[in-house]
Structure 1
Amino acid sequence: MGVIRVGVIGLTALESSTLGPRTWAVVSFLPSFVNSPDYEIVAVCNSTVASSLQAIETHKLPKTTKAYGNPSDLANDPNVDLVVVSVRVTKHLMLAEPALLAKKQVFVEWPLGASTTEAERLAELARTRNLKTIVGVQARADPLIVKAKQLVDSGALGTITSSSVFGSTSAVPSDVWFKGSEFYLDMKTGANLFHVYFGHFLDSFIHVLGGFDSLQSSLQTEIAEIVIPAEDGVQEHTAQKNVPDHVLVQGKLKSGAMASIAYRWANLNEAVDDVGVRWIITGRNGEIEITTDQSHWQMNSPNRKLRLKLKGAPTKEIDFSSPEPDFIKHIPQIGKNTGRILEAYARGNQADYADFESALETHKLLDEIVQKSGFKY
């Protein structure tokens, strides 16, 4: 595969090195594409041509970079190979559909759609046109998850008998929220604590261990009101939240192993021992334990650990680092896994990234968890 020519939808003119509203494309995609020898940004598409031109100027992209204000115009650009959609999930279908109809390769951030119905539509468009696709569940390419999957698949643990997960919401605020991002407090948007925050972990879980054969679930909303701080002359006010911050799932995996996942509400950065997720996978010959600090699962926490305990041997910490291309070093910490899934895509290593079909399975599982719990919103 030669250099992949990219058209980005959602690259704002903001300059940022940290996560915030409308900055994801800036801190993850932009440094990945600029530094990778496999990609070249050739077009930017925002809500207006003017805003696209501003983004091109702000980020010092080549003057030859095309500016578009309509996704159909971008889709019909013959010089674009891959269209990247990095905007709020409620617009994923509208913005990705023209590219699929134009038979482009398409990258859509997670969640794939605002609902499973939308995800099915996008997956069908790609399937019937035999198109290459990628979805931004970045943890699949995290060296930690790659190593954990290798240990499970190699049989080092023997037959997997069970897996237990203890996670918390302590990486996100629980008493205040960001003005302009109130959509994250609503289950109906498909972009919220359950579908995004929990969904990223769930994708890794089934990627490593396989899906559920049967399950039971329970969901509960502990914090139903969140303060939106005063900003730009708008007074402080409270917003309603109908998204569960307690998620309990237990059942049997397709492999026959028993599984339980418990995500609990916790104050920001106040989980005990600074552990955001503790994930144990048990086999007949031993088990592994994965721990992360209080950060977003998919964002390459520098403090994550993998420990292995085999029969007759002491517990040891496993080095899961591996050789990587130099361009990964130039990506901010929170965006490194985006660079890694793009590297896997460029190399045709589908084991380390999700396509529309596998993302659709995660959508369906999230729906089943909600349905089995009887959660109403």
Structure 2
Amino acid sequence: MAAQTIRVGFIGLNPDSHWAATAHIPALQSLGDKFKVVAVANSTIESAHRTAEAMNLPHAYGSAEELANSPEVDLVVVTVKVPHHLQLVTAALEAGKHVYCEWPLGNGLAEARQLAELAKSKGVVAVCGTQARSALEVLKLKQLIDEGYVGTVLSTSLIGSGGNWANESPEDLYYLFDKKNGATMEAIPMAHTLAAVKDVLGDFGELSSKTLSRFDSVKISETGETLPKTAADQVMIHGAMASGAAFSLHYRGGVCRGTNLLWEINGTEGDIQVTAGLGHAQLTQLTVKGARGDETELKPLMPEASEYEGKPEFAGARNIAGIYARLYDDIRNGTQTAPSFDDAVALHDVLDAIERFAG
């Protein structure tokens, strides 16, 4: 193994399904010998052994604590459901390991703060995966705004579809519809997208919000069973950015037959429009167009084709690869360029304020 290779252990990895296998593994593979996946811990030792055998990993562990305390692991990656983040990330931090945790960091603001404080006390690199921030299109968008493409930003507006959170769900995703699990539409697609908005346009100012539930039950696709639903399926926010620009947002459950992500930025000199097939800016291909001055039709404003070369085709994996690349540099150079636990707390704080206002 190369001297600079970071050895990765996954908590929550199955070879044929789920986010870790479809996004994290291709992301790491695209980065050459910077990382090597060496270990897994799943809900049972039998599951861990199956994954290790299928993916040719040298180590399988029966618990998160065993993996975290293994001298063979430098970085612990947590890719399980939100209610388990506090326990599993705590185990990794207590073992003095660097951590990559999927967003949301905690099940609410209090848990996120607890984990951020522990990470700081341990002096490790602790990253939370708000990977829309590393999307090539978002980086291009930030460059355009910083260079004055639209002039002074007057307003920005967002409409997004959550995909889930309507009135039907596969059985394995039903947990998303129970608000107490911390995996609501606000917490996942909306928050991922808000993290990108903040990077591009700066901090949020005073916001008002309203949440609605047009469905109070969910039909399970496989069985037809009807189960209760407590998570909102309509979220509306309005207010201002810290810059004074007007801000409005509407996230809705399910998908629509029109545009499922529409983000517009309007300024004194021009306009930019970002669209996608789903309201999850962290995992879907974004298209950026704009016009300024005397131009009357939007034109493509995408990154150069060369910037996509050598990166995963799936946007979710490509964006995660961008986070891992920053994480690698942070571990090796003592920098803080990847989204940190402190960044995650700030985003949780925005969500908490929105929830409190919505009542």
TM over 0.5: yes
Distance of aligned partners of 1:308 and 1:332 in 2 relative to their CA distance in 1, 3 Å threshold: closer
Cα shift at 1:180:
3.4
Counterpart mapping for 1:171-250 below 5 A: 171-172=163-164, 174-230=166-222, 235-250=223-238
* Structure-1-length-normalised TM-score: 0.86
Say whether residues 1:362 and 2:347 are aligned partners: yes
- Partners of 2:46 and 2:274 in 1: how far apart? 46
**CA separation of 1:111 and 1:147: change in aligned 2, threshold 3 A:** same
Distance in 2 between residues matched to 1:70 and 1:162, nearest whole Å: 49
Cα drift, residue 124 of structure 1: 0.6
Quote how far apart the aligned CAs of 1:205 are. 1.6
Letter in 1 for 2:161: S
User: Distance in 2 between the 1:289 and 1:264 partners?
Assistant: 19
C-alpha change, 1:352 and 1:306, in structure 2 (3 Å) is farther
1:283 aligns with one of 234, 257, 267:
267
The structure 1 residue matched to 2:43, chosen from 47, 53, 62, is 47
Secondary structure, counterpart of 1:181 in structure 2: helix
Indicate the SS of the match to 1:294. Answer: coil
Equivalent AA in structure 2 for residue 136 of structure 1? G
Q: Normalising to structure 2: TM-score of the pair?
A: 0.91
Aligned counterpart, 2:16: 15
- The answer to whether the Cα contact below 8 Å between 1:200 and 1:298 also exists between their aligned partners in 2 is yes
Quick one: which amino acid aligns to residue 4 of structure 2?
G
Give the Cα–Cα distance (whole angstroms) in 2 for the partners of residues 35 and 259 of structure 1. 37
The match for 2:300 among 299, 317, 321 is 317
In structure 2, the CA distance between the partners of 1:25 and 1:100, relative to structure 1 (3 Å rule), is same
Q: Specify every segment of 5 or more residues in structure 1 that has no aligned partner in the other structure, as ranges.
A: 17-22
Q: Does 1:340 align with 2:322?
A: yes
Q: Which secondary structure does the structure 1 equivalent of 2:169 belong to?
A: coil
For residues 121 and 146 of structure 2, the distance between their equivalents in structure 1, rounded to whole angstroms, comes to: 31
With over 3 angstroms needed to count, the CA separation of the structure-2 counterparts of 1:334 and 1:81, relative to structure 1, is same
Deviation at 1:353, TM superposition (A): 3.9
Inter-CA distance 351–306: structure 2 relative to 1 (3 Å threshold): farther
State the SS of the aligned residue for 2:284: coil
Give distance in 2, aligned partners of 1:173 and 1:215. 23
Aligned CA distance change for structure 1 residues 168 and 181 (closer, same or farther; 3 Å): closer
The question of 1:141 aligning with 2:134 is answered yes
Match of 1:19 in 2: none
User: SS of 2:106's equivalent?
Assistant: coil
**How many pairs does the alignment contain?**
352
CA deviation after TM superposition for structure 1 residue 156, in Å: 2.8
**SS of equivalent to 2:28:** helix
Shift of 1:316: 2.0
Q: Distance in 1 between matches of 2:159 and 2:344?
A: 23
CA contact (8 A) 2:276 2:284 kept: no
1:305 equivalent in structure 2: 287
1:265-312, Cα deviation, whole Å (9 max, x unpaired): 4x54x332xx111111122222211111236321132xx321122123
8 Å Cα contact 1:143-1:322 kept in structure 2:
no
Q: Secondary structure at the match of 1:320?
A: coil
Cα offset, 1:317, TM superposition: 1.4
SS, match of residue 214 in structure 1 = strand
Q: Give the AA of the match of 1:245.
A: D
| CA deviation after TM superposition for structure 1 residue 157, in Å | 2.3
- Equivalent residue number for residue 32 of structure 1: 27
Which aligned pairs between 1:262-281 and structure 2 lie closer than 5 A? 262-265=250-253, 267-268=254-255, 270-272=256-258, 275-281=259-265
SS in 2 for 1:328: coil
Cα pair 1:185 1:242 within 8 Å, conserved? yes
SS in structure 2 at match of 1:6:
strand
The answer to which of 116-125 and 23-32 deviates more is 23-32
Contact 2:176 2:183 in 1 (8 A): yes
- Counterpart Cα distance in 2 of 1:368 and 1:53: 43
Following the alignment from structure 1 to structure 2, what is the Cα–Cα distance between the partners of residues 49 and 168?
A: 38
CA distance in 2 between partners of 1:368 and 1:157 (Å): 29
The residue number in structure 1 matching 2:5 is: 3
Shift of 1:326: 5.7
TM-superposed CA distance for 1:159, in Å, is 2.3
* Aligned equivalents of 1:222, 1:98: Cα separation in 2: 39
Change (3 A) 1:182 1:358: same
Q: Is the 8 A contact 1:290 1:305 kept in 2?
A: yes
- The match for 2:358 is 373
Secondary structure of the 2:280 match is coil
Code of the aligned partner of 2:326: A
> Which of the residues 222, 238, 243 maps onto 1:255?
243
Aligned to 1:297, the other structure's residue is in SS state coil
